[in-house]
């Protein structure tokens, strides 16, 4: 579930349409929110002449660290996981957090992807472990999509009753096809350097990519009822899947 905050003390240039001087609005946001935030920024600038939105995309955790570790300021921070705001920024840097969207995890591919005509919700984990198939994922230390991908592996191991599946999927390729944020992998997918990417369903739709959920529709919700046992460790934090949030 995505989270939105107005960081306390951050608004350097309050929007005042009665003031003629140019105003710059700084926005930090998750890479997965690039398309909707770009559209919203355009509309905002049209409604508020003289205001320029300066947006920076990165992994949600990296965005939060710009504020907490680097001392940078922003007016709005859009995170792909509201827990990032709660764990890294509250209460020192902000005192409230708005949950504004939900999403789902998906495996995205193109018609050029190896075995693209074979992948299904029933065989995806077997295919991804094949030596002739390459998949990419984002960094769990930087990006919520990264640690949610690890959770998908853990949930698949539980659902299919295959001990060691999560470890095999996590360790395949080492760090070669891990990037700071999931949208960084789309160029590799387009170039044919990788076959599949774990990404949010909305991003796949925005970029017109083929997508397959680990288990489609209502089946996905039933399949992953053991989500409370999934977790991902990064740095000094433990992220669990105690809520069915993906976004």
User: Does 199 map to a domain?
Assistant: yes
Does the global pTM surpass 0.85? no
Residue span of the structural domain in which 162 resides:
105-240
Which CATH number belongs to the domain containing residue 195 in this structure? Answer: 3.40.190.10
- 128 and 204, same structural domain? yes
- 112 and 95, same structural domain? no
User: Does 122 map to a domain?
Assistant: yes
pLDDT at 87: 92
Is a pLDDT exceeding 90 seen at residue 168?
A: yes
Q: How confident is the prediction for the chain on average, in pLDDT?
A: 82
Total number of domains constituting the chain: 2
- 16 and 110, same structural domain? no
User: Does 126 map to a domain?
Assistant: yes
- 114 and 211, same structural domain? yes
What is the band of 31 on the pLDDT scale with cuts at 50, 70, 90?
confident
Is a pLDDT exceeding 60 seen at residue 219?
A: no
Nearest to 169 by CA among 156, 158, 182, 186: 156
Is a pLDDT exceeding 60 seen at residue 92?
A: yes
Residue 77 zone, left/alpha/beta (φ > 0; ψ -120 to 50; rest): beta
User: Does 245 map to a domain?
Assistant: no
Nearest to 121 by CA among 164, 80, 152, 162: 152
User: Does 10 map to a domain?
Assistant: yes
Average pLDDT of span 17-21: 60
């Amino acid at each position: 579930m995505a989270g939105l905050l107005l960081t306390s003390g951050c608004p350097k240039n309050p929007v005042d349409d009665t003031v003629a001087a140019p105003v710059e609005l700084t926005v930090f946001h998750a890479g997965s929110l690039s398309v909707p935030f770009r559209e919203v920024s355009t509309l905002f600038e049209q409604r508020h002449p003289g205001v320029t939105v300066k947006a920076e995309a990165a992994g949600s955790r990296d965005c939060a660290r710009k504020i907490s570790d680097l001392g940078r300021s922003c007016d709005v921070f859009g995170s792909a996981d509201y827990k990032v705001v709660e764990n890294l920024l509250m209460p020192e840097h902000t005192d409230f957090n708005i949950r504004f969207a939900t999403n789902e995890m998906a495996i995205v591919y193109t018609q050029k992807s190896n075995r693209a005509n074979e992948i299904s919700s029933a065989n995806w984990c077997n295919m991804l472990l094949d030596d002739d198939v390459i998949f990419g994922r984002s960094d769990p230390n930087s990006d919520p999509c990264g640690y949610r991908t690890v959770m998908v592996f853990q949930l698949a191991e539980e659902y299919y009753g295959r001990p060691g599946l999560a470890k095999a999927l996590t360790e395949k390729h080492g760090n070669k096809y891990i990037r700071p944020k999931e949208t960084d992998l789309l160029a590799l997918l387009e170039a044919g350097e990788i076959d599949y990417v774990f990404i949010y369903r909305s991003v796949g739709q925005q970029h017109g990519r083929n997508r397959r959920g680990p288990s489609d529709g209502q089946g996905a919700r039933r399949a992953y009822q053991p989500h409370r046992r999934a977790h991902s460790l990064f740095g000094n934090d433990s992220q669990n899947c105690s809520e069915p949030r993906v976004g």
